[in-house]
Structure 1
Amino acid sequence: MSKKLNIIEAMKMPIGTEFEVKPSIGNCSCPNLFLKDGKGEGVLVSVFGHSIIATQSILEATFIPIEKPVSFMEAVAKAKTNRFRIEHELLPKTKLGHTLRSTIYTLINHLDLSNDEIVDVILNSKCYIEESEADSDE
């Protein structure tokens, strides 16, 4: 997920979302900002815990959400509405997100993995959920 968001879009992201910030002017002294719960509201806070002052550079900055890996089971739980990318040393590298159905099909039918290796992939992989509105099964 390398979405580029403006400050309004960034404020609508879930609480706890971390961002790489590319200011419109100069350098940013706090490269990672995240949304934090401020009495039920999302507020931008630096990694040092300080509230962000809304300078012109920050107001016009580009906010890029930082991907956080989740377990295979969490990806499965969210698979109805999202695609996910799975990373493991036994799997080929890909930047594409897949549906749960296509992922399971590939693990079973297209990769030369033993049962133990499939279990290892499920237990020890890193998954990245790709945000989307609705995906159809492949």
Structure 2
Amino acid sequence: MSKKLNIIEAMKMPIGTEFEVIFNGEKISNNTMIISLALTRTKEYKIIDWKFHPKDTVMKPYDFLINGVFIPIQQPVSFMEVVKTKRKVKVECEGYFKVREYRCLHEILQKIIDNNFGEEDKALNNFITKGKWYIEESGADSNDQ
């Protein structure tokens, strides 16, 4: 449930945005794309490139890039960003349960307390400091490709 962008829309995303690429209804395997900067002696250029590729390889304009669907890969945010948002959130924390559906923050905190009887403080501390928090995207496209 994420935004679906064409290559022009993808290029407008911030530096560091990562994407899965879908072409003809299939995910391009093992190839995450990332927006980054290319530097020359006189100028900086915003580029889209493979996240993992051999050094000094050149990106070619394959048809799956020109006509593909770019789906941004959601990155975790800090707990303070979660506190400030009015959107629903979800969290995962190693060694604890994973909240898979987006919920209100107070519901998640209550679930952490309810599921960690006797160790509520420790669990809350771990979720807050070590948890991977995600904020529900506004206007997310729910059409699956």
Q: TM-score range by the shorter chain?
A: 0.5 to 0.7
Using a 3 Å threshold, how does the CA distance of structure 1 residues 80 and 67 change in structure 2: closer, same or farther? Answer: closer
Structure 1 unaligned regions, length at least 5 = 134-138
Aligned to 1:4: 4
User: CA-atom RMSD, angstroms?
Assistant: 3.3
Using a 3 Å threshold, how does the CA distance of structure 1 residues 40 and 99 change in structure 2: closer, same or farther? Answer: farther
Q: State the number of aligned residues.
A: 129
CA distance in 1, matches of 2:21, 2:124: 38
Using a 3 Å threshold, how does the CA distance of structure 1 residues 83 and 10 change in structure 2: closer, same or farther? Answer: farther
Q: Aligned match of 1:55 in 56, 62, 72? A: 62
Using a 3 Å threshold, how does the CA distance of structure 1 residues 55 and 34 change in structure 2: closer, same or farther? Answer: same
Q: State whether structure 2 residue 102 is matched by structure 1 residue 97.
A: yes
What is the CA-CA distance between 1:19 and the residue it aligns to? 1.2
CA distance in 2, matches of 1:7, 1:51: 17
Say if 2:77 and 2:133, in contact at 8 Å, map to a contact too.
yes
Q: Aligned match of 2:89 in 84, 88, 108? A: 84
Task: Give identity over the alignment, percent.
Answer: 35
Partner SS state of residue 65, structure 2: helix
Q: State whether structure 2 residue 48 is matched by structure 1 residue 44.
A: yes
Partner SS state of residue 102, structure 2: coil
Using a 3 Å threshold, how does the CA distance of structure 1 residues 72 and 51 change in structure 2: closer, same or farther? Answer: farther
